[in-house]
Amino acid sequence: MKHISDCAVLNNGVKMPWLGLGVYQAAEGDEVEQAVIAAIMAGYRSVDNAPIYGNEEGVGRALKKCGVPREQLFITTKVWNSDQGYHSTMAAFDESRKKLGLDVIDLYLIHWAVKGMYKETWRALEKLYRDGKVRAIGVSNFQIHHLQDLMADSEIIPAVNQVEFHPCLTQTELHQFCKDNNIQMEAWSPLMQGKLLVHPLLMELSGIYGKSPAQIILRWDLQKGVVAIPKSVTKQRIESNANIFDFELSVQDIARLDALNRNERVGADPDNFNF
């Protein structure tokens, strides 16, 4: 992990960049377009999106304008909870593809494990994968029991599990399960919505390494073998978040960051959500 172009290799051989741009809460229109273009200009090649974010069309416009060949980009989107089920997932996928202006989606995820629905939804994802409409399929916010339940009845093992992951929520058992089953873990909200940036340990490490607290956390993600997708709409911050490939945290400092874990979430509980 020495360069922003470095990639994790998924369980089907597809390469996924270790760092991507998250566009949650980026407003449709100029804001999301400028964020995506700024990221691509800074060397990012991965953008993480979802229909519920309401900005797929803006991302699509940015991809057309950016000047980077499509085959060099890695685009993720997801199926939202209200669209789960086989036929509705197929329709939702077509809608996302149309809004993004893409023939093929690189990674398509089930956004949340909706009880009684995610297995049928997964069958739709398997069909999309077999038909060559997606290059990889995966899940988001799945706990171990969700993954076990899904894998017991499916032909394809998820390539990715995108979950909330940061030093205060290291999800050690889930991370190990994903490693054991060759499922790439990916971190949403890696900076804990900014709450970690003023933690004394992050401030201390920032001084030691000459890097910002955000850069320390994102480097920690990568050295833990977790893909990171920090969200930002600020050009300077987008560029700063990418400046994490020229240093390495010591084993001791990774352990100190690991020790911050207190199973604290800033997002919803995957076993208890109502949306």
Model confidence over 91-118: pLDDT tens digits?
999 999 999 999 999 999 999 999 999 9
Q: Is 166 known to sit in a ligand binding site?
A: no
Q: What is the CA radius of gyration of the chain?
A: 18
Closest among 62, 49, 21, 33 to 227, alpha carbons compared: 21
Per-residue confidence at 166, pLDDT binned at 50, 70, 90? very high
pLDDT per position as a tens digit, 51-72: 999 999 999 999 999 999 999 9
Residues 93 and 25: their CA atoms lie apart, in Å, by 21
Partners of 21 in the beta sheet? Answer: 47
The C-alpha atoms of residue 209 and residue 40 are separated, in whole angstroms, by 26
Whole-number pLDDT of residue 29: 96
Query: For the chain, which domains are there?
Result: 7-258 (3.20.20.100)
Q: What is the average pLDDT score of the chain?
A: 98
Closest CA to 89 of 75, 78, 103, 100: 78
Per DSSP, the three-state class of 4 is coil
Provide the pairing of β-strand 7-9 with 15-17. antiparallel
Active site residue 53: yes
Catalytic residue among 44, 53, 108, 129: 53
pTM: 0.98
Q: And the tokens for 151?
A: 């894998």
In percent, how much of the chain has pLDDT > 70? 100
User: Do residues 125 and 117 touch, judged by C-beta distance below 8 A?
Assistant: no
